[in-house]
Amino acid sequence: MSTFAPDYEKTDMGSIQIAPEVIEIIAGLAAIEVDGVAGMSGGFAGGIAELLGRKNLSKGVKVDVGQREAVIDVSIVIEYGHRIPRVASDIQQNVKHAIESMTGLQVMEVNVHIHDVIFKGAEKPAVEEETSVQRVK
């Protein structure tokens, strides 16, 4: 399987190869740029969410690359209070645009998997205390 952008496979000076890890890093960076994304999930099998530092930018990203097309799976942790469908749609658009513009590959799918929701620092939602009202009878 080759990971070449079709228009740039061969040039007069040689060939250009794009490693799948590069595409994973591009997708990871594009995903964490989106407002509402707290970080990337540690993976599909591991249930523990791990926020990204700059070391492993491909964590939480799985890429299937063909000659001209790519399918991307992104696992994220979302910040509480953001609309999940909006954040997921923004991730899909941002990842697709970044990969297509940087590599020349056509992105067929960007699948977003939300693995966790976290609260920002001390901004936890206020819980109404209703001790006098019985809610369930």
Structure confidence at residue 16 (pLDDT): 80
Residue 130 has pLDDT above 90, yes or no: no
Q: What is the pLDDT of residues 21-32, one digit of tens each?
A: 999 999 999 999
Looking at the domain assignment, is residue 1 inside a domain? no
Tell me, yes or no, whether 129 lies in a domain: no
Which of 35 and 52 is assigned the larger pLDDT? 35
> How far, CA to CA in Å, does 42 sit from each of 24, 33, 122?
14, 18, 24
Give mean pLDDT, residues 79-83: 95
Domain count for the chain, please give it: 1
Evaluate whether residue 125 is within a structural domain.
no
Residue 134 placed within a domain: no
11 within domain boundaries: yes
Domain span including residue 101: 6-118
CA distances from 26 to 12, 33, 64, 129, 132 (A): 27, 11, 14, 45, 53
**Lowest-pLDDT range of 7-16, 33-42, 108-117:** 7-16
Question: Average pLDDT for residues 9-30, to the nearest whole number?
Answer: 87
Task: Specify the pLDDT at position 137.
Answer: 57
Is residue 26 included in any domain, yes or no?
Answer: yes
The reply to whether 136 falls in a domain is no
CATH number for the domain spanning 63: value is: 3.30.70.1350
